[in-house]
Amino acid sequence: MQQELELLLERFSALEAESSTVDIAPAEGLLVVRADGIKQSKRFLKDELENPRYRTALHKAVGITFRMWRDWAPEPSRPFILAALRLSDEVSFVLNRGDNYYGRRILKITTTLASTLSGAMSLAIAPPVARKSPRMLSVAAFDGRPLILGGEDELVSYIRCRRLLHARNAMAKVLRLESEFSDSQLYDEAPRLADDIHRLGREVGARSLWDRFDRAVSGSALYTAGSGKELDGRTLPGDPQDEGIVRQAVERACGKGRRR
């Protein structure tokens, strides 16, 4: 699994770098935009296994973003967002193959999607008292990274890559918060324990901390555009091996985005 993760990260990092140089997304490919929270992990997630308030806020923000982009897209391109993967403080949006009034311009789509999610999350995470006073609002910002994928099989591989990485990071956090391992032992000593999913799994298992791991990954969800006007979301288990669930969701979502 460690070698698989390294190969997947190398593959999709190269695709991400290549995609960032493309002006117009190909009509027959799948454009994915990954929105990564800027300093949100440090603010909300770093020092606790789970943060239900943050998870609920990000769930709401994803729904708001979907509805706004649905309404902005012309009828032939709806739903414009086909699916979304939520892991920790990142959301990967899978977009329709069809045209829209952004003309498939990657830079425009990426920046607008990231800014939409940033605004939605800033409102969703704010306590009620802060909404009455703009000075008390704290911005929850996301950057955006485009990725052009060839089709559904590559999307399934991409989702597996992100889930494996999320599982690895969650194991490292569990050991940092719930065991004797120090930050330096996890992140500084070579070879880095925090980079090795096999070694992390052994250490988590040896300390019977899998229940803590389940809490650490409890914010994982895969959304698909439903038959109505909302996203249908389902919580994903921490084990990334259940590709059948992911593939069914991908086929259902991408089937809605095929041109007729």
Could you tell me the CATH number of the domain that includes residue 13? 3.30.70.3000
Question: Is the distance from CB of 240 to CB of 163 less than 8 angstroms?
Answer: yes
Question: Is the distance from CB of 12 to CB of 4 less than 8 angstroms?
Answer: no
Within-domain flag for 39? yes
For residue range 94-123, list pLDDT tens digits in order: 998 766 668 889 999 999 999 999 999 999
Average pLDDT value over all residues in the chain: 90
CB atoms within 10 A of CB 152: 16
Which band of pLDDT confidence, cut at 50, 70 and 90, is reported for residue 164? very high
pLDDT of residue 176: 97
Mean pLDDT of 79-89: 92
Q: Which of 14, 8, 30 is nearest to 106 (CA)?
A: 30
Q: How many domains does the chain fold into?
A: 1
Within-domain flag for 212? yes
Which band of pLDDT confidence, cut at 50, 70 and 90, is reported for residue 182? very high
Within-domain flag for 260? no
Which band of pLDDT confidence, cut at 50, 70 and 90, is reported for residue 77? low
pLDDT above 60 (res 86) = yes
Which band of pLDDT confidence, cut at 50, 70 and 90, is reported for residue 76? low
What is the distance between the alpha carbons of residues 7 and 172, in angstroms, rounded to a whole number? 20
Q: Are strands 90-95 and 30-37 parallel, antiparallel or unpaired?
A: antiparallel
pLDDT of residue 245: 84
Give the long-range contacts of residues 191-194, CB within 8 A, separation 24 or more: 194/168, 194/169
Within-domain flag for 156? yes
Task: Please give the residue range of the domain that contains residue 102.
Answer: 2-255
Q: Which of 66-75, 107-116, 218-227 has the lowest mean pLDDT?
A: 66-75
pTM equals 0.92
pLDDT of residue 260: 39
Within-domain flag for 162? yes
Task: Write a three-state SS string for the chain.
Answer: CHHHHHHHHHHHHHHHHHHCCCCECCCCCEEEEEEEECCHHHHHHCCCCCCHHHHHHHHHHHHHHHHHHHHHCCHHHCCCEEEEEEECCEEEEEECCCCCCCCCEHHHHHHHHHHHHHHHHHHHHCCHHHHCCHHHCCCCCEEEEEEEECCHHHHHHHHHHHHHHHHHHHHHHHHHHHCCCCHHHHHCCCCCHHHCHHHHHHHHHHCCCHHHHHHHCCCCEEEEECCCCCEEEEECCCCCCCHHHHHHHHHHHHHHCCCC
